[in-house]
Amino acid sequence: MSTGRRDDWFTCPHCGAEVPRGARACPECGSDETTGWSEDADRWGAGIPAGYGEDEEFDYDEFVRREFGGGPHLGRRGWIVLILAAMLVVGLLLGLLL
């Protein structure tokens, strides 16, 4: 947040960050006169969509499956082997302690 007077800064219409008056570009998103604001930017406010809205076609679960695979799949046999190995380790540890 700005600690100066209201006249010392304006709101970037692209990302909503506070920009010092006279700055050549927004310190947060890099917008400038050619990419998103001008000297009178504070007059029209942050009405420009920045592209952060809800994408109705985006399926997060499908994205995770595609990018990271379905996760580890041990199957029934894998789980049985894992449980038996854990029981063996616990049994060995108890045998050493007793």
Q: Decide: 19 and 4 in contact? Cβ < 8 Å.
A: no
Count: domains in the chain: 1
58 inside domain: no
- Give the predicted TM-score (pTM) of the model: 0.34
Token digits of residue 75: 């199957």
Token digits of residue 45: 């406010």
Indicate whether 50 pLDDT > 70: no
Average pLDDT score, the chain: 76
Neighbours of 48 (CB within 10 A): 16
Which residues form the domain of 38?
1-53
Task: Report pLDDT for 13.
Answer: 79
95 inside domain: no
Task: Report pLDDT for 72.
Answer: 66
